[in-house]
Amino acid sequence: MDTHEFVKKYLVDRKGTHCSKWDGLQEKFGRSDLLPLWIADMEFRTCDAIVDALKERVSQGVFGYSFVPDSYYTALDHWMQERHHSSVPREWVRFSTGCVTGIAWSIAAFTRPGDACMILTPVYYPFHNVVTNNHRRLVTVPLHYEKGYATMDFDAIEKAIVEQDVKLFVQCSPHNPMGRVWTEEELDQVLSICARHHVLVVSDEIHQDIILGDKPFIPAAAVKGGKYRDNLIILNSATKSFNLATLLHSHIIIPNPKLREQYDAFASGMNRTEVSVLGALATQTAYEKGGAWLDGLLQVIRRNYRDLKAQFHKELPEATVCALEGTYLVMVDLRPYVKPEDIHSFIQDKCQLAVDYGEWFGEGYQGFIRLNLATSPTLIQEAAQRIVHALKD
């Protein structure tokens, strides 16, 4: 299915549906007349197979206690092997209502109040909050940024771990908002540092399926043939890939049996949440029948990125549209044209756009904006034109 066909078939108008992205603008931005390109979900209806499976299940009219069938674990393992060359045995898998919840539960299970937890900034802002709100000490290490491309500063990472006595590292892979798909060499270096200093790694891999270039996504559990598995908690989900966020279903994958035992002991007293029967069904169906739909979505995201980059290169050559190897969220550096302190008024008042602002993700990124490309090409073109016209006017 080409881009035009995908958009024609699956694009929906979400206004008036209690949609946070469209109907929550007044609360978030103080006005309701903005074009929203902020929160990370889509204007695309999920694939027909998922909708049909949910309709059939809902028609039963019973939503009582249920268990996850064997076929679910088979579908998950097959998807991971086919897409990412990484097996996920059934015994490794636990469930949560979302990946940020999985981070919170991992922090609670494997650290104590006051322990230091490390993140690499800029990074998805709930990573900051989930550490501090759980009464852990937040340690931030900046990524090295140059001309639209972010890399890890391994010396700074190791220095922070040693000096701050870091106990847990929350990794974002692929990286939101810098769009990096980390190479195996990069992952090997950072995981090696953490293993050497006994720092547990919680790897949030929710964007694993949104891979846009030739660089493959490498699950942390697959690095160097699984060398670091015993020091890993892996979080992933179908929610970003298939627009299923509020079905409240994601995975906590724990290869190390001792860590699984420790997590289960924590969960027995804290996490008594039942698995979402609709979330599990939607996820299983996505993994069994959603591959072609996802491939169509990726084509749309690639087109939107190319269009945005081409328009800015032509009209605003000093702006930087950052590299986008993975995720559907792209950072744009507008500092050559807009003073960082003026970025909010420029974007909202002059362009009438709702975006995520760079400083929400980490210090030093005021003047950047993050745009959501999982939407209609028409909306991306309109947003770019608004920015161009506002600057030229």
Q: Which CATH number does the domain housing residue 79 bear?
A: 3.40.640.10
User: Based on the domain organization, do 352 and 277 belong to the same domain?
Assistant: no
Beta strands, E only, 208-350:
232-236, 250-253, 320-321, 329-333
| DSSP E strand boundaries for the chain | 35-36, 93-96, 116-121, 137-142, 144-146, 149-151, 166-172, 200-204, 232-236, 250-253, 320-321, 329-333, 353-354, 356-357, 368-372
389 contacts: CB under 8 Å, gap ≥ 6: none
If one counts the domains in the chain, the total is 2
Distance CA 146, CA 127 (A): 23
Q: Are residues 7 and 80 in the same domain?
A: no
Residues 284 and 304 in one domain: no
Q: Which of 228, 260, 289 marks a domain boundary?
A: 289
- At 122, list the tokens: 């800029």
In angstroms, rounded to a whole number, what is the distance separating the alpha carbons of residues 120 and 70?
Answer: 37
Same domain for 128 and 263, yes or no, is yes
3-state secondary structure 222-245: HHHHCCCHHHEEEEECCHHHHCCH
How many angstroms separate the CA atoms of 179 and 150, rounded? 8
Rounded Cα gap, residues 186 and 66, in angstroms: 41
Where are the strands (E) in 206-314, listed by range?
232-236, 250-253
For the chain, first and last CA: distance in Å? 39
The answer to whether the Cα torsion of 171, 174, 177, 180 is positive or negative is: positive
Q: Are residues 89 and 211 in the same domain?
A: yes
Q: Are residues 221 and 257 in the same domain?
A: yes
Same domain? For 221 and 310 the reply is no
Residues 277 and 238 in one domain: yes
Q: Are residues 143 and 198 in the same domain?
A: yes
Q: Strands 250-253, 320-321: parallel, antiparallel or unpaired by DSSP? A: unpaired
Q: What is the pLDDT of residue 1?
A: 79
Residues 75, 104, single domain; the answer is yes
Cα distances (angstroms) measured from residue 287 to each of 43, 162, 207? 21, 41, 15
Note if the bond before 122 is cis, omega within 30 degrees: yes
Kindly state whether residues 122 and 266 are assigned to the same domain.
yes
Per-residue pLDDT of the chain (393 residues; tens, 9 = 90+): 789 999 999 999 999 999 999 999 999 999 999 999 999 999 999 999 999 999 999 999 999 999 999 999 999 999 999 999 999 999 999 999 999 999 999 999 999 999 999 999 999 999 999 999 999 999 999 999 999 999 999 999 999 999 999 999 999 999 999 999 999 999 999 999 999 999 999 999 999 999 999 999 999 999 999 999 999 999 999 999 999 999 999 999 999 999 999 999 999 988 777 899 999 999 999 999 999 999 999 999 999 999 999 999 999 999 999 999 999 999 999 999 999 999 999 999 999 999 999 999 999 999 999 999 999 999 999 999 999 999 988
Residues 281 and 260 in one domain: yes
Give the predicted TM-score (pTM) of the model.
Answer: 0.96
Residue 149 phi/psi, 5-degree rounding, is -135, 135
- Please give the pLDDT value at position 192: 98
Smallest CA-to-CA distance from 337 within 307, 311, 317 is with 317
Q: Which domain holds residue 8?
A: 3-46+292-392
